[in-house]
Structures are given as C-alpha cells and as structure tokens.
Amino acid sequence: MSIWLLLPVVAGVALFLTGALRRYALARSLMDIPNARSSHSVPTPRGGGVAIVVSFLLALPLLAWMSFIAWPLAWALLGTGAGIAVLGFLDDHGHIAARWRLLGHFAAAIWALFWLGGLPPVVMLGFTVDLGWLGHVLAAVYLVWLLNLYNFMDGIDGIASVEAICVCLGGALLGIAGSSHSTDFAAPLLLASAVTGFLFWNFPPARIFMGDAGSGFLGITLGVLSLQATWVAPQFLWSWLILLGVFIVDATFTLLRRLLRGDKVYEAHRSHAYQYASRQFGRHLPVTLVVSGINVLWLLPIALWVGLGGIDGLLGLLIAYVPLLGLAVKYHAGELEKQA
C-alpha cells in the first residue's frame, strides 16, 4: 500500500471510531460535566482521543513494514503510546493517584528512550554537545513534561487537535526539506492524519472531548518524534521546540507562576493564557484559530529557518518565544482568575 493511500484511510478510521466512541459515551453517560473550573458550559461526551490512538498505532507496523520508519521507532511509539493511552483511559474512567500516574509516565518515557538510544548530541551556539547520562535523564523529564502539558492545554474545543496537526505538518516539512532521508516525513504525517479524523468531531463547538487518553498520548508521541528527528539532524530538536512553542510557553509560564504563588499545581484550574483568552472572546473558536495562525505564520517559518541551518537553534528559539511570552503576560497566564 502507498503511504498516500494509507494516510486518508487512517483519517477515515479515526473519523469513524470517534463517532462510534461518541455514541458509546452518550449511551454510558460518560460525560464531562461543566464545573467552576471548566472552560465549557454544556455536558459533552469524553474519551474520543482513543480513536487517534487506535488508528495511529494500528498503522505504525504498516509504515515500518513499508520501510517508511525504522522498527526501533515503531516499537518506541507503540509501547509508549499504548501504555500512556491505557493509563489515561483508566484515569478517565476512575481515578489513579498522581504518584502512580507519574511513575507510569516515566516508565513510558524510559521505554521510548531505550529504543531511540536516549538523547542524541545537541547543537548549541555552534557547538555539538553530548550530555551523556544527564542528557538521557533530561530527555525523560522532557517527555513527561510534554505529556502533562498537553493534558493541561487540552482545555478548549479543538486546540489540542489543531496544535498536533500544525506541529506534525511542520515536522513533516522539516523531514522533507532539511533531511537527506526521504521518509522522515512519514510518521508525523500519519499522526496528523489520525488527528484530522478526530478534529471533525472536536472542532468548535466540540461534540466530543479528547480525554486524558488522547491528550497524554499526543504529548508523549510528539516528544518521541522530536527526539527521533534530532537523531536525524541535531538542529531539529530546536525546530520541534519552536513548533511546540504555543503549548510549551503557556503551560510552563503558568506552572511557574502558580508554583511561586504556592498553589497546589496538581489541582485543576483554568488560569492558562488560552483559557483567559477564550473567556475574553466569549467563544473557543477565535482562540483555536489564532493558535493555528501563530503556528503557521510565525513558528513554522522560524522552525524551518533553524532546521535548514539559517540561524542557530537557541537564538531561533528565543526569537520565537519572546512574543509568546508577551501573549502569556497579556492574557494573565497563571494569575488568579479574580485578578483578570
């Protein structure tokens, strides 16, 4: 099968499965009920992200069999993605203590790093730096943070889906334009296709939510793909960090501000910049569209600039992130809601 036939098939499977999951959630009353910390006002089915997981993971062995990805990457994505999705699914349907969730997150990260070979050497200010075991530890923390920040940022209709699609398309363009390997675009495009099928149901106003199974899966999968890309070209790590900038800046700035204030950071809240913005606009759609615009018009060109060797990665990251930090401040990221 050609990959160009596989991609629409994966999108179609995700589209069909999401619809089926929505009917299942409605029949079983698996609903996300609005509360004081919610960004939505209508009870909505949850758990639709399972469709992304299933459609993507089922197609991965085909990609490896067709030699579009190496088998070690396939095993990394399969084991890590399935483990995190199951953990998120169980948490969606009950409650797992935070310490056990975190243990599972690190176990999944270690599995991925085992198959990837850890953190590759990183180019910084013109120097190639091999951090050794410290780098592997930092890579595990990075994967776990991406997983959790994706959960934090999945708070309004369509935003997590749009972010994943934009990042994956950017990663695919990097693979096409900045790599000598002709197949480095395949895995990001496969994930983008799976998310596109789900987005049909999740676009504002959402008819089903992703749930922790989907958002955690997307976060760690994007992290694994970014590390794999770094093995292809060291500067690609900076490019992927730039592509993920909207989520990284908002989530990290919000977390740090809440930590400094002494908040219980594991408790639910709605003090991210995107949540304040959605309340200011009165709808989710404008914020989701603006995130898309920032990704395509601002972050993607800088990521490609870095990936093609036009500018140092750290400098490119700073250029990309400064306006995002300005938006985080403007939209009160991390502030108590009454201060907005």
- For 181, phi then psi, to 5°, come to -90, 120
Residues 221 and 215: their CA atoms lie apart, in Å, by 10
Helices (H), 158-244: 159-177, 186-202, 211-232, 236-243
- For 196, phi then psi, to 5°, come to -60, -40
Cβ(217)–Cβ(34) under 8 Å? Answer: no
Residues 4 and 316: their CA atoms lie apart, in Å, by 33
Structure tokens at 308: 């093609």
- For 266, phi then psi, to 5°, come to -85, -10
Residues 108 and 241: their CA atoms lie apart, in Å, by 20
117: left (phi > 0), else alpha (psi -120 to 50), else beta? left
Cβ(134)–Cβ(196) under 8 Å? Answer: no
Residues 197 and 49: their CA atoms lie apart, in Å, by 10
Amino acid identity at 278: S
Amino acid identity at 307: G
DSSP state of 339: G
* 7 Cβ contact list (under 8 Å, min separation 6): 189, 190, 193
- Is residue 212 annotated as involved in ligand binding? yes
- CA atoms in the 13 A half-sphere facing the CB of 13: 21
Question: Would you call 293 helix, strand, or coil by DSSP?
Answer: helix
Annotated binding-site residues read 151, 212
Annotated binding-site residues for Mg(2+) read 151, 212
